[in-house]
Amino acid sequence: MDRWDRSSQLLISAAIGVSRTIGGLPLEHPLDTIRTRWQANPTSSSNSWQVAREIYVSKGFLGFYSGAIPNTTRRAVKQTYRWPMMLFFPQFYHDHVLSHRLQKQYPRLPKILTGLSIANFEILVINPLERLKVWLMTSPTRISLLEFFQRRSDTRDIIRELYRGTSAVFFRQNISWVTFLYTDELIKAKLRNYKQCQDLNHVDLFVAGMLVGLVNTGAMMPF
C-alpha cells in the first residue's frame, strides 16, 4: 500500500507539472521569445515593443512561436521529472545508498546528493533543448526544427552544437540545485524546531520560500 501511495504521488506530481507547462505555453512562449531575442541583440532594440515588431516583420505571427517545439518538450520534461525526483531521490539515498553512520553525521546529505543528481541530469538532457530553443528564437528568419538538423549532416556536429556552452552552466546548475534543496530543508527544519510543530502553515511556507529564494539568488549572482 505504501509503495502504491508513493507511486501515486510521483505520477500526480508529474501530471500536474506537464499540465502547467501546456496550459501556460500560449502566453509565456511569445514573451520568452521577445526576451531571448532582446538578450541576443541588446543594442539593436531600445524596448520590448521594438523587439516584438522586428520579430513580426521578419517572421510573421508564427515568429513569436519559434522554438516552441523544443521549448515545450524541454519544459514538459522538466516538470515531469523535477517533482518526482525531488520526492524520490532523498528517500532512495536514505534507504539504499548512505550508511546510517554517515546520515547521522550529515543529516542533509541526501538533499545534497539529490541536488547533484537533478542538476547533472538537466545538463545532459535539458540543456541541448534549451540551446535548440535559443537558436531557433534568435534566427533572423523563421526556420523549422527539421532544417536545423538538415544543415548539420554530421552527428558529431549536431552534438557539438547542442552541447555548446555546457561547461558554462555546469557549476551554475549544481550550485543552484544544491543550494535550493539544502536551504529549503534547513530553513523548514529550523521553523519546525522553533514552533515545536511538524506542520507549517501558509505563512511559514511563504517566509521559508522567501528566505530560500534570497539565499539561492545570492549564491547564483556570480554565475
pLDDT of residue 200: 81
User: Per CATH, the architecture of 2-164 is what?
Assistant: Alpha/alpha barrel (1.50)
User: What are the structural domain ranges in the chain?
Assistant: 2-164, 170-223
What would the pLDDT profile of 158-176 be if each residue is shown by its tens digit? 788 778 777 778 888 899 9
pLDDT of residue 183: 92
| Whole-structure pTM value | 0.64
CB 67 within 8 A of CB 133: yes
What would the pLDDT profile of 102-111 be if each residue is shown by its tens digit? 888 888 899 9
pLDDT of residue 32: 77
For the stretch 186-202, what's the b/e string if a residue is b when 16 or more beta carbons lie within 10 angstroms of its beta carbon?
A: bbbeebeeeeeeeeeee
For the stretch 143-174, what's the b/e string if a residue is b when 16 or more beta carbons lie within 10 angstroms of its beta carbon?
A: eeeeebeeeeeeeeebeebbeeeeeebeeebb
Residue 209: pLDDT over 50: yes
CA distance 56 to 78: 29
Indicate the range of 9-23, 145-159, 160-174 predicted with least confidence: 9-23
**DSSP-derived secondary structure letter, 152:** -
Confidence of residue 178 (pLDDT cuts 50, 70, 90): very high
pLDDT of residue 1: 43
CB count in 10 Å sphere of residue 75: 24
CB 115 within 8 A of CB 181: yes
Average pLDDT value over all residues in the chain: 79
Number of Cα atoms under 13 Å in the Cβ half of residue 40: 17
